[in-house]
Structure 1
Amino acid sequence: MPSLTNAVVVITGASSGIGKATALAFARAGARLVLAARRSEPLEDTARDCRQIGAAALSVPTDVTDEVAVQALADAAIEAHGRIDVWFNNVGIGVVGPYWEAPLDLQKRVVEANLMGTLHGTYAVLPHFLRQRRGVLVNMVSMGGWSPTPFAATYAASKYGIRGFSASLRQELTGHPGIHVCGVFPALVDTPGLAHGANYSGRAIDPPGPFLTPEHVADVVVGLVRRPRAEVAVGWPATAARIAYGLAPGLTERGAGAAMRGALRRARPDLRSDGAVMRPVPTGTGTRSGKPVWHVRGPSLGSVALGGLGLLLGAELLAGVLVRRG
């Protein structure tokens, strides 16, 4: 889709963060937007901002854990525009803390929103893509879909699941060359998402950053629709995580665990909170939360250096194995 003028784009999780930034990016490209989120007022604010740019934008309050509501979202898009060209499964929530400390209903809701929400959206839009013989499905994964995320185990489970689902579905659709399934794997992004997550660690969750901007991730999503690819990393930490875990999974697991334990020990004490996992909260309606960000344009020196380091580490480990076996 080299031109997005009048393309019909459905975005979930569009009331804030990456979803809001992506809606505005597609609006500037001339697309017609159908926007979904649980919070009706912030969602309508996003739609209004898109209209001010000059794009058609419809807000449809939707809880992606409800398959009937997601089907109604697809129906609303078809009724308004007659087709769907792009569907962006973007909702993401999490629980931070030892797995056994957080209530099981919170852990289940993470899977229901992240993984089942992606399945619900895909199930609703795929019949339209098949009928049209074209369409782009973009699934928000995370660098946590490539490597472990200690103290956010259920979040990692949902993201690993989305990656596996996307890769499997892609193969099922090989007979439909006009339909594309894309996965986006960003590093840390400055959005209200961390504040919206549940926190059962007993510590304040405030990673030092720097963070990607949601606008950069939005540009990547728009670029994927123009030129679809199976998987794309956003930010060198995501690339590094993929290489490191692929070459040295045990070392990467231990390193991630040690880093998270150290960060939690250094963090100030904080109260436990369910965040916005079970029900929406009024705060956090912008694209950013105000953390230090860095701007990425193309491959960075850091990504090249870490990639090379990962390859050297893999070669060293392989050599050690061969020497021991020899």
Structure 2
Amino acid sequence: MKTYYRAIPQVDAARPEGAFDLAGGWAWFSQVEVLRRGQAPEIIPAAQATEEALARMTEPRGTLAGLDMATPQVMGILNVTPDSFSDGGEFNAPDAAIARVAEMANQGATIIDIGGESTRPGAGHVAVVEEIARTAPVIAAVTAKSDVPISIDTRKAPVAREALSAGATLINDVSGFTWDGDLAPFAAEAGAPVCVMHAQGDPATMQDDPTYDDVLLDVYDFLEAQVGYLTSLGIPRHQILVDPGIGFGKTLTHNLALLARLSLFHSLGCPILLGASRKRFIGTLSNTEDAHDRMPGSVAVALAGVAQGVQVLRVHDVAETTQALTLWQAVTKGTN
């Protein structure tokens, strides 16, 4: 039976002797939760985990897309689409998109994720030519004026190719490199860092009736398999972000189960991205219908993720998240 090891992260100023750094970052752990399918969890001293598991949980993640994974990073969202769930139509004009990138960079975003195809529940397919037309000119214009790294949010190799030619650095695939068989080999050939996300089903149907045997372990197994595939192509493990895909083929219960034990994904040996900003489950829990009004809940979830060692926060509300993160870090450390 497969055994999973989850570091139980701590950020308390009082750290016991013998505690381990979590992923070379700001959190530490002295205990590990042992998980097995169909069995009750067990908590053991961290030193009793297998040598391989302990190495994966503790190894520093280094630098990805020019960003130091030893400190939390804020990824600003820019959807150049007419129909994204939160900001559709706001920034799909080139001038508005360029101005928004500059604004987010000034607010503290250390990388910008640009997407030309909505992946909201029920969204339809966008043709490759249209997606390129939406994204590549914006990326070229932005990178001509700014040094902030750009991530291309796409499932399609031709779109990624044009985006990297225009100046993008990171490829972020919400299908986890399962939709276009040419995308992962292209990323490896280009030497581009990637983000591999879990999603159950296509955006058009993913929320119809998502089901899992064990959502936490099912998502982990998928990401483990995809990380193995990507590394087999030559993409280094430390250049692969993993994203559990909050809201992508998940119910409220599924999302909360993943968020409660996010630190399990450190056992993949990769940095973690959390993208929960303004999502429906936040509106459900807070009784907030309009996505634009979900900033406080989004910030709360982001900070909970950072407390579990999440390295990259993908957010709409950059200024608010950055301010909250700055204060969280100062209070946690007891110093500025």
Q: TM-score range by the shorter chain?
A: 0.3 to 0.5
Instruction: Please identify which structure carries the higher helix content.
Output: 1
Instruction: Please identify which structure carries the higher strand content.
Output: 2
- TM-score, with structure 1 as normaliser: 0.37
- TM-score, with structure 2 as normaliser: 0.36
